Structure 1
């Protein structure tokens, strides 16, 4: 969800299991520590994430995962097109442990969610099956607290399909519908892809249906740990203008807003960022 994940050998991750996903480097995202951090980010209630009085809270950054999905729903209600006889579909790119996919399922009959991390996909499937997860929350040093998070029992998850996938090679994935999607959601993902321009090209050519929406949320934190410099979506006028140049042939920008997020490291240390949320409507011609 905040970072697209990369699969490496299990032997490496067993030696790195205590490292946090707030460190740089794509090799961290198969570890049990990464899974715990993402479960907390996707599902933990506010009082677990930030156990302090509201007067100290960076409240605008709470519930980031759910808010990105809500942005998709509200944007579709405002800008999307409903086709007679067709059910609505959404693609959750870099779904991590599934929180945004479950939120999207409240609106869209079919939700396909995929991630490059097999550990994340396995966790999302477990949540879908059992509707609850146990995770370890770092308090201080090496002190952890086991916690449980759950989905509402009333939530219908039958229309969700979780699978492994590479956002830079969508056409090769048989689970990605060749009919396209009404909404494609990619949150804090773009600047963690090795080939972001290929992903944007595929969205313009076939992944997003004509009249459909591409919802991108990104802090534009380009790093060579993830993306070769020549592949950054970054120009002299800044990342948004570069993104606009990549998409303007196939898409129209219909909305843009700042989108704060909060990442917990431990009980007294947090990271606060403000992503750029942009909503693009696929041109019908």
Structure 2
């Protein structure tokens, strides 16, 4: 078992064992009060029709549905598919590496479905029950109707569709907390955490489980714009975006290297832009840092 203290601050540390211990009832109990408090803070956002429509067009929208202008960052479209493609680029099927994938923070499921082109079993997990219900409807029907906001109350009706060539029956979707994952998930050949770590209340607990969930020889892909916000993560739990006791800056990437290094090799890191449509004229352009890690042999 290896222990790493992050940058000299005793309360910022993570321990990643070669095979993590089972997570029991105590884990869930420890987050109960936090979840109840933060449900009130975030539920009105992540369970709203407006945010659901933004994620549906982000995941499944055609280029002309997301960006109606001849100009604009077209290379930032299709981010969930590009995340799945990055996983598939680095995953090499071989004996002992399960043909299973885990999409943590799956939102409305595009990456999960794309991974099902290759993997026999794909698990998508999200904290939002509304997102999970949407994934399950897409799995069942292959499509879902929704509306995007253009201006004020003016909307446009669209349909999100899963590619008919994808084996939707290979996917399953569950609601859960990425900081306290179920103990009976098993191991995976690929774990994807897209734009997740800077939205977690205890991100070190999430990283701690990766040594258990990713099979030796398997791939872990983490993307993040490193937007550390107090509304999601209390300062003492941040992975980066602060100065340590010596006045030196600590970035999220530095902490990932320090925390994952004992059991993972960094095999790639790239910048991945993404584009979120809010209205016809107001949108978000962001650049995520994508890091690809290969689980070391036991």
TM-score range, shorter chain: 0.7 to 0.9
Residue 152 (structure 1) shift: 2.4
Residue 27 (structure 1) shift: 4.2
Out of 222, 230, 247, the position equivalent to 1:216 is 222
Give matches, 1:160-239, under 5 Å. Answer: 160-172=171-183, 174=184, 177-178=185-186, 180-204=187-211, 206-234=212-240, 236-239=249-252
Give matches, 1:109-188, under 5 Å. Answer: 109-172=120-183, 174=184, 177-178=185-186, 180-188=187-195
Deviation track 1:145-176 (CA, whole Å, cap 9, x = no partner) reads: 1111212223211110111111111144x4xx
Asked if the contact 2:194–2:224 (Cα under 8 Å) also holds between the matched residues in 1, the reply is yes
Question: Are residues 148 and 8 of structure 1, via their aligned partners in 2, closer, same or farther at CA, if it must alter by over 3 Å?
Answer: farther
Asked if the contact 1:7–1:117 (Cα under 8 Å) also holds between the matched residues in 2, the reply is no
Query: Whole-Å Cα distance in 1 between the matches of residues 263 and 107 of structure 2?
Result: 28
Rg larger in structure: 2
Query: Whole-Å Cα distance in 2 between the matches of residues 239 and 225 of structure 1?
Result: 17
Name whichever of 67-76 and 226-235 sits farther off: 226-235
Query: Whole-Å Cα distance in 2 between the matches of residues 244 and 32 of structure 1?
Result: 38
Asked if the contact 1:7–1:116 (Cα under 8 Å) also holds between the matched residues in 2, the reply is no
* Structure 1, gaps ≥5 residues long: 1-5, 13-23
Out of 52, 64, 73, the position equivalent to 1:47 is 64
Asked if the contact 2:114–2:166 (Cα under 8 Å) also holds between the matched residues in 1, the reply is no
Deviation track 1:95-134 (CA, whole Å, cap 9, x = no partner) reads: 0111110011111111000101000000000001111111
SS at 1:271's partner residue? Answer: strand
Residue 48 (structure 1) shift: 0.5
Are residues 1:245 and 2:258 paired?
yes
SS at 1:273's partner residue? Answer: strand
Asked if the contact 2:217–2:295 (Cα under 8 Å) also holds between the matched residues in 1, the reply is yes
Asked if the contact 1:194–1:231 (Cα under 8 Å) also holds between the matched residues in 2, the reply is yes
Match in the other structure for 1:38: 55
SS at 1:266's partner residue? Answer: coil
Asked if the contact 2:98–2:188 (Cα under 8 Å) also holds between the matched residues in 1, the reply is no
- TM (norm. structure 1) is 0.85
Give matches, 1:9-48, under 5 Å. Answer: 27-48=44-65
* Structure 2, gaps ≥5 residues long: 1-33, 243-248
Residue 37 (structure 1) shift: 1.2
Out of 83, 100, 103, the position equivalent to 2:95 is 83
Matched residue pairs, number?
257
Query: Whole-Å Cα distance in 1 between the matches of residues 35 and 69 of structure 2?
Result: 36
Give matches, 1:51-70, under 5 Å. Answer: 51-53=68-70, 56-70=71-85
Asked if the contact 1:97–1:120 (Cα under 8 Å) also holds between the matched residues in 2, the reply is yes
Are residues 1:266 and 2:279 paired?
yes
Residue 26 (structure 1) shift: 6.2
Query: Whole-Å Cα distance in 2 between the matches of residues 154 and 68 of structure 1?
Result: 19
- RMSD of aligned C-alpha atoms? 2.1
